[in-house]
Structure 1
Amino acid sequence: MPPRRDVPGVKPSTALRTGWRALAERSASVLPLYLLASGLYGIARVPLLVAGLVALWIAGASGRLDPFVEVLRRSQREASGDAAGSDPFASGTVNPDQLGPGFGDAVGNLLTPEIVALLALGALGAVVLGIVASAVGSAVAVGGIAGLLRGDDGVRAGVDGAAAYWRSILGVRVLLLLALAVVVVPLGSVVAGVASAVLGAAASASGAGAAPSVGGSVAAAGIAVLGALVGAVLVLVVVLLFAFAEQAVVVDDAGALAAVRRSVRFPLDRPTAFLGYVAVAFGALVVSVTVAVAGSLTGTARLTGLVGAIALPPIVDGYKTSVYAETALPDDPNPTPLDERARAAFLGGLREVGAFVRDHPVANLAALACILAGGAIGWVATSSFGVTLPVGSDVGDVFAGGPLGPVGTAVNLAVNNWLVAADLAYSGLAAGVPAVVSLGFNGLLVGAVGGVFDPTAFAALVAPHGVVEVPALVVGGGLGLHLGAVVLGAFRGRRGADDVVDAVRLAYRVLLGLAPLFVVAGLIEAFLTPAIAALVLGG
């Protein structure tokens, strides 16, 4: 490939508009790609969840859970005979300080070498699958953006890109990790050695066997801080040099090594475009931090996840791909106003929800069965403990929403549940396994909580919003199982790439229809559930 020079083919401002237009004008082609890329990380949770469940089963089968349960029973008996203030469960959460000294021993009894090794293996598997999932997700996203720049269908280009480029992008990720290790590990060793030498010299100056002087400790701390700053700068430089490697893989069809070389050369060949990317990336970081701070102050922190998953990445990727390929997004010959497209998308999505439930009963019933099976196992496991945890004296505390009160709670719940449904749907692309595991695990958690709470209290706190929220999550899981079946059919040669593309689009449309349902469920949980629970429980 001839080197790209600073030519006025696509100016940084034009490339930035391309990223924004890709999100705003081609949302039906862009958002499915980034929801898919985000949902693929659900695959990485499977080893850790499975390891945790197996570890819990081993602990129960070996009797190591018994001391832990006995601590809970003893604390409950003592609380029932003492003043209300001594109840470790009075606030609705466990107070470890009032559970007695046996609590720490009981927890430590669970951490056998076998269980620790199992959890470590699960964590390692999660890291490996996370790296692979990130490579596949990036291939989907960048492949789709590049397809839009060529005037192709974005979702089809993203699906084709996943098959064509994920290995090369995985190679880029591995090379990036190696480069970071080459930079960080020697620097850390040097900093640690210098700081140790300074402390040793300070201790020698203070006399044999004496502790280092204050000045020596301050000097060592200063060296450590300086080393951390130098390390951060070097890490940033490495990351920036790799910034356009994935674009090189997709646009130039380059292998991992060739893509990294072209990315490293890009700042020299296109300095203006590279500095524009630095500005765009910094702006995206500022927006992310601003949203995070605003979410923290207003009690709507889950909005950060929504912005980070599907709002900012298309703009940044659109800029990078546009300037690298020197191509702007073609004009839409028949543009539709954004408000009209949004209204049509959500109303059409509600119809798609009904159609999906009607046309795919097996997938939805299987998803419901996974939740019910997990719930039954969780309830049987914990109800046998003979422990009943009371609800706190103020039911409203369970649904506290920060400065915005119930509004903040409703926003957090709606966004969180919608992102969970998207994860269930698109992680199901891995043969449906992540969807099955996630559905079963969530059912297990609900059943386990139900097994140790008073049934009336549990129903009062869950049923009002659960009648809307749980079916919507079941549909999300059904999407995951349907996508898994389509992908399995494609691997077996019974389905084609068009079927996978159609399934990805269907999932997006159904998820749009689920969004209003989660908003309704969030409003019920934030405003009505506390009042209903207080009425039923007298709290």
Structure 2
Amino acid sequence: MHIGDAVRAAFRGYRSRPSGVLPYYLLGASTAALVQTAWLVGVAAAYLTLSAQGNLAPIREELRAIGPVQIDDPASYEGSTAGLEAAAEAAVTPELLAVFAATGLVAIVVSLLANAVVGAGQVHAVYGVLRGRDPIRAGVEGIARDAVTFVALLVLQLLAMAVVIGVSIGGLAAGLGAGAASALLAFALLPALLVALLAVRLVFLFARQAVVVDGVGAVAGVRRSVGYARSNPADAVVYLLVSLGVLLVLAMLSAGLSSVGMSAVGSPIGLLVVFPLLAFVKTALYAEHATGRMPQSPKARGTIRERLTDEFRRGAAALRRFVVARPLLQAASGAVFALGGLAGWRFAAGVDGVLQASITARLAGWFPPAAFLNLAANNWQVGVAQAYAGFLGGIPTVASLLFNGLFLGALARIEVDPVELLTFVAPHGVVEIPGLIVAGAVGLHLGGVGVRAATGRADRADLASAVARAYRILIGLALVFLVAGAIEAFVSPYYAGLLGI
């Protein structure tokens, strides 16, 4: 099978069962909530460290001394901040640095491990589609079977990259200290380093597919990935370069969208389209190599428009059923969110009159179409992360709800014109906030499923059903956040003025 055949198989497979694969890519997006949880714990530890060392009070005093600062435009402040800078420098103790270093390390490790584990579900789901199996069940079984192996692959790849980078840095340092000629040779190592890193990437490129298709361990997976590259060098190199090019284009697109106020739009394009299609192409290439043939996935039925309409209709129905069936979970989610809001309000009392926010300043340069897409995409991604992260006992979901409540409560406390803020938030808030609360309730529900699975009271069929049900509800919530985004972009900034409020 050549790249062109693999691409055709990928599009056919993706079109036939997108709802069987996308839940695992949305599950990968929940990494954001896990990292957020780590940083919340870290910030709390830093706050306690500053308080215990007596370094928080001087910072507060200096903040009060410099007067109100607009957080929406801090560059507009024209007074001296020398005292604040000195107090902040004095607060940077070894203990505080250790807290932030530990937090950063934990966040990185959590992110890498979570992506590796979810990657097992993603590749198994893709291969399940290509084999005509139930991809949701295949993904759950794949995580149970190969999560540790995928983590081992990650460790091996990081070690290989560390060795390559370490050798290159050592050669560069030696060259710089041995005269001009050696320095030139050392700088010649830079392109060699790039080539070496690409070679490492090529060695591991098909290792995950080998683990899934051949049912082998991490070391054997790497060997078979190398074997594929040796047997099919053109396809391997072309796929590597094409995938890197696609990711570069996606990065440039995301940067372009960010420059026009749509920073949240690029991520869903990657999650819902680019990453699944790349996985389909890679898995199709390796599966044909390993088995000698490629089982054809079922042909998609109906037009794209008909299938999208059906997806949203089913999502709305699943959302409605969940809201009706789980009122206590929604009450619990709302209570956590409200508790975060109250805590944010009380915490911001310490900087009330020192830091100021202005909804008028934030609306400067408001462009409704761009704001609509950005708000809808951002809120939906928050809901997705909040929901699927709940599998870890619901803890990341609770942390996300608390964080969002803290942010809104603190922002409301330091707003210079609370009435104007309320008139802005009210129209879309009555849609957006319940949507986030329902997403939190989904996360709490999945937390219960995760706990039951860990204690042996739920099997893989229960987990697969929970993954699929959560996906449907999140599709329904996408409609909610589209409505909320449209109101916030096109109505909230203007209606109060039109009504003379």
Deviation of 1:390 after TM superposition, in Å, equals: 4.6
Distance in structure 1 (CA, Å) of the matches to 2:112 and 2:128: 24
Distance in structure 1 (CA, Å) of the matches to 2:264 and 2:385: 15
Letter in 2 for 1:138: G
Question: Please, which of 340, 350, 355 is the counterpart of residue 374 of structure 1?
Answer: 340
Deviation of 1:498 after TM superposition, in Å, equals: 1.2
TM-score (norm 2): 0.91
Gap regions ≥5 residues in structure 1: 1-9, 80-87, 202-215
| Matching residue of 2:389 | 427
Distance in structure 2 (CA, Å) of the matches to 1:35 and 1:346: 16
* Greater mean alpha carbon deviation, residues 293-302 or residues 348-357: 293-302
Preserved CA contact (<8 Å) 1:428 1:481: yes
Distance in structure 2 (CA, Å) of the matches to 1:462 and 1:189: 56
Q: 1:470 aligned to 2:436?
A: no
Q: 1:482 aligned to 2:439?
A: no
| Matching residue of 1:436 | 398
Question: Please, which of 461, 475, 486 is the counterpart of residue 498 of structure 1?
Answer: 461
Letter in 1 for 2:9: T
**Count of paired positions:** 496
| Matching residue of 1:264 | 226
| Matching residue of 1:352 | 318
| Matching residue of 1:165 | 146
Distance in structure 2 (CA, Å) of the matches to 1:524 and 1:61: 45
Deviation of 1:197 after TM superposition, in Å, equals: 3.0
Gap regions ≥5 residues in structure 2: none
Question: Please, which of 22, 37, 42 is the counterpart of residue 28 of structure 2?
Answer: 37
* Greater mean alpha carbon deviation, residues 377-386 or residues 53-62: 53-62
Preserved CA contact (<8 Å) 1:457 1:537: no
Distance in structure 2 (CA, Å) of the matches to 1:187 and 1:389: 47
Distance in structure 1 (CA, Å) of the matches to 2:363 and 2:20: 39
| Superposed counterparts of 1:53-452, under 5 Å | 53-60=44-51, 63-76=54-67, 88-89=69-70, 92-93=73-74, 95=76, 98-198=79-179, 226-326=188-288, 327-328=293-294, 330-332=296-298, 335-387=301-353, 389-392=355-358, 395=360, 397-398=362-363, 400-401=365-366, 405-452=367-414
Deviations 1:327-365 (A, max 9, x none): 545242671222111111112212222211111223222
Distance in structure 2 (CA, Å) of the matches to 1:110 and 1:375: 28
Deviation of 1:249 after TM superposition, in Å, equals: 0.8
Deviation of 1:276 after TM superposition, in Å, equals: 4.0
Preserved CA contact (<8 Å) 1:431 1:488: yes
* Greater mean alpha carbon deviation, residues 177-186 or residues 487-496: 487-496
| Matching residue of 1:48 | 39
Distance in structure 2 (CA, Å) of the matches to 1:283 and 1:25: 26
Deviation of 1:389 after TM superposition, in Å, equals: 4.6
* Greater mean alpha carbon deviation, residues 373-382 or residues 61-70: 61-70
Seen in structure 2, the aligned counterparts of structure 1 residues 323 and 451 have a Cα distance that, compared at 3 Å, is same
Distance in structure 2 (CA, Å) of the matches to 1:150 and 1:114: 54
Preserved CA contact (<8 Å) 2:357 2:414: no
Seen in structure 2, the aligned counterparts of structure 1 residues 298 and 458 have a Cα distance that, compared at 3 Å, is closer
Preserved CA contact (<8 Å) 1:377 1:444: yes
Query: What SS does structure 2 have at the residue aligned with 1:302?
Result: coil
Deviation of 1:154 after TM superposition, in Å, equals: 0.6
Seen in structure 2, the aligned counterparts of structure 1 residues 462 and 389 have a Cα distance that, compared at 3 Å, is farther
Preserved CA contact (<8 Å) 1:22 1:314: no
Seen in structure 2, the aligned counterparts of structure 1 residues 60 and 530 have a Cα distance that, compared at 3 Å, is farther
Deviations 1:286-339 (A, max 9, x none): 541452254245432322111222211111111111111115452426712221
Deviation of 1:278 after TM superposition, in Å, equals: 2.5
Deviations 1:138-161 (A, max 9, x none): 101001111112211011101110
Deviation of 1:62 after TM superposition, in Å, equals: 5.2
Seen in structure 2, the aligned counterparts of structure 1 residues 64 and 276 have a Cα distance that, compared at 3 Å, is same
Distance in structure 2 (CA, Å) of the matches to 1:432 and 1:534: 42
Preserved CA contact (<8 Å) 2:202 2:229: no
Deviation of 1:63 after TM superposition, in Å, equals: 4.5
Deviation of 1:170 after TM superposition, in Å, equals: 0.8
Deviation of 1:223 after TM superposition, in Å, equals: 6.0
Preserved CA contact (<8 Å) 2:13 2:298: no
TM-score (norm 1): 0.85
Over aligned residues, Cα RMSD in angstroms?
2.6
Letter in 2 for 1:255: G
Preserved CA contact (<8 Å) 2:16 2:299: no
Preserved CA contact (<8 Å) 1:143 1:157: yes
Distance in structure 2 (CA, Å) of the matches to 1:111 and 1:384: 21
Letter in 1 for 2:97: V
Distance in structure 2 (CA, Å) of the matches to 1:325 and 1:245: 12
Seen in structure 2, the aligned counterparts of structure 1 residues 49 and 533 have a Cα distance that, compared at 3 Å, is farther
Q: Give identity over the alignment, percent.
A: 35
Deviations 1:183-209 (A, max 9, x none): 1101111112212333xx6xxxxxxxx
Preserved CA contact (<8 Å) 1:367 1:478: yes
Deviation of 1:91 after TM superposition, in Å, equals: 5.8
| Matching residue of 1:459 | 422
Distance in structure 2 (CA, Å) of the matches to 1:101 and 1:279: 50
Deviations 1:217-273 (A, max 9, x none): xx95x6665433221221111111110000111111111111111112211112243
Seen in structure 2, the aligned counterparts of structure 1 residues 368 and 228 have a Cα distance that, compared at 3 Å, is farther
Deviation of 1:489 after TM superposition, in Å, equals: 0.8
Larger radius of gyration: 1
Query: What SS does structure 1 have at the residue aligned with 2:265?
Result: helix
Seen in structure 2, the aligned counterparts of structure 1 residues 23 and 385 have a Cα distance that, compared at 3 Å, is same
Distance in structure 1 (CA, Å) of the matches to 2:43 and 2:73: 24
Letter in 2 for 1:265: G
Deviation of 1:274 after TM superposition, in Å, equals: 1.5
